[in-house]
Amino acid sequence: MNTKITAKDFFTHISIFILLYSGVVAVLNILFRAINVAYPQVSQYGYTYTSGISFPVATLVVVFPLYLFVTNFVRKEYVNMPSLKDYPLRKGMIYLTVFMAGAVLAGDLITLLYYFLDGRELTIGFILKIIAVLVVIGSVLGYYLDDLKDRLTGTRRNIWRAVALVIVLGSIIVGFSVIGSPWSQRAMRY
């Protein structure tokens, strides 16, 4: 591997993971907050303040297209320079992502189970949050494990893109269904 790594390579790879982490946090925030509105926790009964969803929706609307753009740009770089796939920062960030996804999955499941056992979560809300965590984090884990094992063929990559698109667009739609339009938000606040 005599490929010279440039600052551009460094920043594009770092950008991918910053955008990924921001997007995952935004998706889970939207889904958890929407579930809390539909199935309020006992400690928050009657509390339906929805502005907390606006920022994650805005984040996702900006971050997801950027993530797709940067990953597509880097993928084209891999075609021109295949040795770039062995870039230590890339491998390190993928392993960090897999580790963090596993840790977040375990931590979220522990927290959700604690809230359920403590009586704060209703059963349906609890189950929906478990499903949200498993689908979102499981998708990230699946994609990056496929990437590590070099199993991302054109078809498989397109399947993962479709999964991501369904999750992200579904989350944005759920977010807008909870917060309503900007005009309804303005009417509620002012």
> In the prediction, which pLDDT does 163 show?
96
CA separation for the pair 66, 28 (Å, rounded): 18
Helix (H, G, I), strand (E, B) or coil at 151: coil
Give residue 153's identity as a one-letter amino acid code: T
Residue 97 in domain: yes
Residue 171 in domain: yes
Residue 181 in domain: yes
Residue 71 in domain: yes
120 with 111: CB under 8 angstroms?
A: no
Residue 1 in domain: no
Q: Domain tally for the chain?
A: 1
Residue 129 in domain: yes
Among 37-41, 121-125, 151-155, 156-160, name the one with the lowest average pLDDT: 121-125
138 with 104: CB under 8 angstroms?
A: no
Average pLDDT, the chain: 86
Residue 23 in domain: yes
State mean pLDDT over 98-122: 85
Orientation of helix 154-179 relative to helix 123-148, angle to 10°: 150
CA dihedral 164, 169, 171, 174 (to 10 degrees): -160
Structural domain range at position 91: 7-189
Residue with the bigger pLDDT between 58 and 48: it is 58
> In the prediction, which pLDDT does 142 show?
93
pTM of structure: 0.86
Please name the residues in contact with 67: beta carbons below 8 A apart, sequence gap of 6 or more: 16, 19, 20, 23
pLDDT over threshold 60, residue 51? no
State mean pLDDT over 31-60: 79
Nearest to 54 by CA among 162, 145, 157, 188: 188
State mean pLDDT over 163-170: 96
